[in-house]
Amino acid sequence: MMPRRKSRYVLLVAFVMVFMLYQVFKNPERDATGYTGNLKPSEPEKGQNAHKEPAKPPTANDSASNKHLNNNPPPDHEHPHDQEEDEPEQNPQKQTAKPTVKIPQLKTEKAKSAAPTETLSGPTLSIHAPNEAVEVTRKPEVTKAPAKPLDEDIHAKNPPGRPDLDLLESQSTSTSQIHWHKVSEHFPVPTDEIIPLPTGKPKDIPKIQYAFKPETESVKEKREKRLALVKAEMERSWGGYRKFAWMHDELSPVSGRFRDPFCGWAATLVDGLDTLWIMGMKEEFDAAAKAVKEIDFTFSPTRRDIPVFETIIRYLGGLLAAYDVSGGKKGGYEMLLDKALELAEILMGVFDTPNRMPILYYNWQPQYASQPHRATTVSVAELGSMSMEFSRLAQLTGEDKYYDAIARITNAFEDLQNRGTAIDGIFPEQLDASGCNRTAEAIAYQEAQAAAASASAAAARLSEPKGHEPVAAEAKRAEADAPLAQETALAQGNGSEPEDVNLLARRAVGVDKDGEPVVENAKDIDKKQAFPEPKVNEQPIYPGNSGRKPSPTTPDKSSWECIKQGLAPGGWSSQQYSMGGSQDSTYEYFPKARFALAYAIETLEAVKKWLLYRPMVPKERDILFSAKVSTSGDPENDLRTEYEVTHLTCFIGGMFGLGGKIFDRPDDIEIAKKLTDGCVWAYESMPSGIMPEGASVVPCASTQSCPWNETLWWEHLDPSADWRGSQIKVWEERQREKKKQQQDELRKQSVERGKTDLTGSNSAEKSIEEEAAPEKKDPLADIHVPKDEPKNLGSAKKTEYPAPEPGLNKSPSNVDEHLLKKRDPAPPTPQDPRQGSAEEAASNSLKDKLDLNNAGNAGSVSNDAPVSGGIVGKIKIEEEAEVPDPKPQSHEEFVKEKLELEKIPPGFVNINSRRYILRPEAIESVWYMYRITGDPEWQEKGWRMWEAIIKATRTEHGNSAVDDVLSEEPQPVDEMESFWVAETLKYFYLLFSTPDVISLDDWVLNTEAHPFKRPV
């Protein structure tokens, strides 16, 4: 029953709520100006409002009217139509009718003509026909509303990047789209400074491809059979894409769905165009080429930024390659080059930076594309993997601006290489491409602060001596001397004006802006002070900063000036160097791009010196891999090496082979064979026959000889082997000490038991007297029975302790083994029952305390069990159980368990990523080795790889990435990346095609396997 006092409060609250509800329903006209975003207005009753006009679609005035917040009514003199729709009629019947509230329903085709009041709350959008220009009233650059004063437009008013408002927009209307359009450049290249495309006859390059001899009929039959199987797999994958993911980026081959990770511009379609042509699937190519015309590169339904690297290698490269392989101007597919130009015009905006280094995640929407940008930290691969695509576009169109864009990047790499990196010939994984030396700026700024403070102090010393003045008075004097301090600071040649000199003067005398005393030194200066930010309307836009309000006016270019520098290592800690992800494709392009040939040799030499290693594998197979190294700038002394094996790095075999042929370096071709064979070994070592994404192995001490050493392999599997051994020794010593203590205690107890036997009768009599004495407290409260108490106790009562086991004597050598493992015993405390026998008292009390279901449980625990809070015999144990002291795991036990659980094959130390995502790099190098050496053994190795991949990845609608290559039957993950049709299937097909198909002497392939025609 509720207490009387509480019930009064409940009644009071209920009364207030009822009164408030009454006031709401008494004034229904408030709904006309209240928040209605989540409520559907009530429908008129039959016979009412018959004269009311049908609902009209929203107009421009409707959109403009919604600039008011929902909780503020619009002016009465505006929008008479809105008043007619929203204001209640002066009808007594309607006023007395009960207001109804309906839950909003999802819009259907029939509901499209609903009244404007049924839309979601917030600004509405004008809807136009598809061919009409779309006017979005909330977007500042397209609104017809007059421009606001600058001081009223400081904060963001729903720019792109506000997912909540953009989602609201997408729900309100599906026809409102923001498209990219060309904007004026902020940092254009003068026409006379554009770097022109090289002209004249290209430099001759030695023959790359092996001079194949005519094949026999049996060899031809075998090759063509394999070729047909590869083509059939392409037809299956393409059929699945055509059926379930047409015009989307990627197919989900298990579920029959699609994915759009790349702006939704049909990545698989564009990426696979040249593969269709090369495999003779001309009808599919024709349909896909015509579908390319429907791709709108000026709009993305899925992303607000363009991933520039992926877009260039997949889309731009795919379009140009498809144009080339289909015959160019004579092929009849001019639309492919047209779409490439359309995309290139959009991508040229990424180079509009002060130093022309690109923005690699480009906000394409006009609000941000029109703002000035500066490059930031970039990866080597992203920055350097544009040269082939833009060079080919410049060759096909004759437009020098495309070549100029990437030539400046190439020059920046050359400048960095000439200045030197920690490892000459290769570049750190992350680079600062901003063009600004922030460190120098910080130093200059701090020097300006110090100069101003020093000038202020000097001016103070020149004044006449005065008596003591408070701190505030000193600050005022410093303000008076500020002009002198400013002149002194500027006279020292600083390139930029320092911070407010008055503030610097205040800091010099120890007060802040408000005149309050402070204690500050150079270490206390906030890091933000070292980088003065530009004004609000001059603020640069950086990637990931999409929520910032675009500048309503043209920014002052002076705010973008800084202490200039070229490319520099990014970050402040160690630098990483490798041929793996984030670095690979830039080095791949060096031997492929004619203007980068000079850098290729330096790269090859650096890789051989610092990165290549031989792994220790069974059967002493002579293979090589490329490692990842880290250094803080002194690799001779602080180099740290990670002996990795990654699928992405497998391209390096083809790179060395290509460089060996171009530069006539036979040793590099032998290295290329060993590098490629290393990836083949990685495939063959896995239970599934497929190489994992990432792993690590044991390095050899010498590249000349490296026999298999299982002991050494185990040491790498368990780097803590020495520690484990020391822990076992400590544990063994602890056990010896413990056993010795137990034996000593048992001897002591044996002596005590002898004394007890001599006084047994006296003890018995005393025990009887104590048992007869009444006791008020709980009979179990003070009972203390140690676990180590020997079973043969002469003075104990039979009802209290179990009888001794047969054959047990008092000799320590004949004591049960479990007694030697327990802690030191303590003498027992006898029990004094209140009534009845001790056995009944103990049993009944335990039932009460432990709430046992039956009394039989009380004696069910073994006397030998080391328990705490339980029962030994029929006596409660209050002493805590002894903490187990398990034996530490030995090195051998640890390694066996790791091998069993992780299924690590011999030679590997760790499998960092067990996935296979249909990658092409391994088969890419196998194809290069076959075309360069002519050795048919590479075809056999490639075919074994093919069989393993198809067995593991084939699904009903295509081929899927798999989760665990260490399993004989890995499970699909329902992803088919576009490079499966663009690269992997293409390289397998080319491996078994005739050598004239995409000959290495006539074509050069980009990092996405798109072939470009070599200029004649």
- pLDDT reported for residue 997: 98
What gap in Å lies between CA 454 and CA 485, rounded to an integer? 8
- pLDDT confidence bin for 832, thresholds 50/70/90: very low
What gap in Å lies between CA 385 and CA 1005, rounded to an integer? 12
The string of pLDDT tens digits covering residues 273-327 is 999 999 999 999 999 999 999 999 999 999 999 999 999 999 999 999 999 999 9
What gap in Å lies between CA 333 and CA 274, rounded to an integer? 12
- pLDDT confidence bin for 535, thresholds 50/70/90: very low
Closest CA to 947 of 695, 692, 694, 688: 688
> What percentage of the chain exceeds 90 in pLDDT?
52
- pLDDT reported for residue 558: 55
Indicate the pairing of strand 640-642 with strand 644-646.
Answer: unpaired
Q: 1005 in helix, strand or coil?
A: strand
CB 114 within 8 A of CB 517: no
Task: Reply yes or no on whether the pLDDT at 174 is more than 50.
Answer: no
- Residue 206 Rama label (left phi>0; alpha psi -120 to 50; beta): beta
Percent of the chain as helix, strand, coil, to the nearest 5: 45, 5, 45
CA atoms within 13 A on the CB side of 375: 33
Closest CA to 310 of 349, 354, 273, 343: 343
12 - beta bridge partners? none
Q: What is the dihedral of CA 830, 831, 832, 835, to 10 degrees?
A: -150
**Which residues in 403-441 are b (16+ Cβ under 10 Å) and which e?**
bbbbbbbbebbbebbeeebbbebbbbbbbbbbbbbeeeb
What gap in Å lies between CA 173 and CA 175, rounded to an integer? 6
Indicate the pairing of strand 871-872 with strand 875-876.
Answer: antiparallel
CB 656 within 8 A of CB 208: no
Q: Element (H or E) spanning 553, and its range?
A: none
954 - beta bridge partners? 959
What does the pLDDT average to over 191-196?
96
What gap in Å lies between CA 612 and CA 618, rounded to an integer? 19
Segment among 109-123, 401-415, 572-586 with least mean pLDDT: 109-123
What does the pLDDT average to over 52-65?
38
Distance, C-alpha 898 to centroid of its chain:
28
- pLDDT reported for residue 543: 38
Segment among 153-162, 655-664, 726-735 with least mean pLDDT: 153-162
Indicate the pairing of strand 628-631 with strand 575-577.
Answer: antiparallel
- pLDDT reported for residue 530: 36
Task: Reply yes or no on whether the pLDDT at 241 is more than 60.
Answer: yes
Which residues carry a binding-site annotation? 1007
Q: Please work out, in degrees rounded to the nearest 5, the angle formed at the alpha carbon of residue 227 by the alpha carbons of 225 and 228.
A: 65
- Three-state SS string over 810-832 comes to CCHHHCCHHHHHCCCCCCCCCCC
The string of pLDDT tens digits covering residues 617-653 is 999 999 999 999 999 999 999 999 999 999 999 999 9
More confident residue, 539 or 987: 987
The string of pLDDT tens digits covering residues 911-962 is 999 999 999 999 999 999 999 999 999 999 999 999 999 999 999 999 999 9
CB 42 within 8 A of CB 117: no
Which 8-state DSSP code applies to residue 798?
T
Which residues carry a binding-site annotation for Ca(2+)? 1007
Q: Element (H or E) spanning 642, and its range?
A: strand 640-642
- Residue 466 Rama label (left phi>0; alpha psi -120 to 50; beta): beta
Closest CA to 119 of 214, 233, 40, 2: 40
What pTM did the predictor assign? 0.65
The string of pLDDT tens digits covering residues 511-527 is 444 444 443 333 333 33
Name residues whose C-beta falls within 8 Å of residue 290's C-beta, 6 or more positions apart in sequence: 335
* Residue boundaries of the structural domains of the chain: 56-172, 438-532, 740-753+777-899
615 - beta bridge partners? 699
Residue type, 882: E
**What mean pLDDT value characterizes the chain?**
74
Segment among 429-433, 717-721, 725-729, 747-751 with least mean pLDDT: 747-751
Task: Reply yes or no on whether the pLDDT at 798 is more than 80.
Answer: no
What does the pLDDT average to over 966-985?
98
What does the pLDDT average to over 870-876?
48
CA atoms within 13 A on the CB side of 645: 32
- pLDDT reported for residue 717: 96
Q: Element (H or E) spanning 679, and its range?
A: helix 666-685
Q: 640 in helix, strand or coil?
A: strand
Q: What is the dihedral of CA 297, 303, 308, 310, to 10 degrees?
A: -90
Closest CA to 314 of 1011, 831, 1008, 988: 1008
Could you tell me the CA-to-CA distances from 418 to 426, 530, 935 in Å, in that order? 11, 30, 39
The string of pLDDT tens digits covering residues 60-77 is 334 333 333 333 433 333
What does the pLDDT average to over 217-241?
98
H-assigned helices in 398-528: 400-419, 438-462, 471-480, 482-491, 501-509
More confident residue, 5 or 583: 583
